Amino acid sequence: MALLYTLAGINHFVRPKFYLRIIPPIFKNKALVNQLSGAAEILLAIGLLTPYQSYAAWGIILLLIAVFPANVYHLQQHGAGMRIPMWLLWLRLPLQLVLIGWAYNYT
């Protein structure tokens, strides 16, 4: 799980355009939101490897809840021109619950 969130966090900095397109317009500084969420994923991933694993897992759960609106927005925008199949965008929504359950196992 730590590897997944480390790679996902790094991806926010390597491929920011992907994330910027799915951040809802309510956020005026999308670049900052992207950078903060990427940094949070990396820090929480590191936290999973420490004695504070439980706190990091709760942080991941909160992060997954916080980014859920971006997943809904992405779906509403029909993939924001990214050529992602609609079925995959729909699948992503319940996948959040699976990821939350996985993180909960670390609490």
pLDDT in tens, 85-105: 889 989 999 999 999 999 999
pLDDT in tens, 48-68: 999 999 999 999 999 999 999
The number of CA neighbours under 13 Å toward the Cβ of 64 is: 21
The encoded tokens of residue 4 equal: 């997944």
Q: Is the pTM of this model over 0.75?
A: yes
Residue 81 scores a pLDDT above 90: no
Determine the distance from the C-alpha atom of residue 97 to the mean position of all C-alpha atoms in its chain, rounded to a whole number: 12
Q: pLDDT-derived band of residue 80, with 50, 70 and 90 as boundaries?
A: low
Transcribe 16-47 into DSSP letters: HHHHHTTS-TT-S-HHHHHHHHHHHHHHHHHH
Backbone torsions φ then ψ of 23, nearest 5 degrees? -80, 125
Helices (H), the chain: 2-14, 16-20, 30-47, 53-76, 86-104
* Residue 24 CB partners (closer than 8 Å, separation 6+): 69, 70, 73
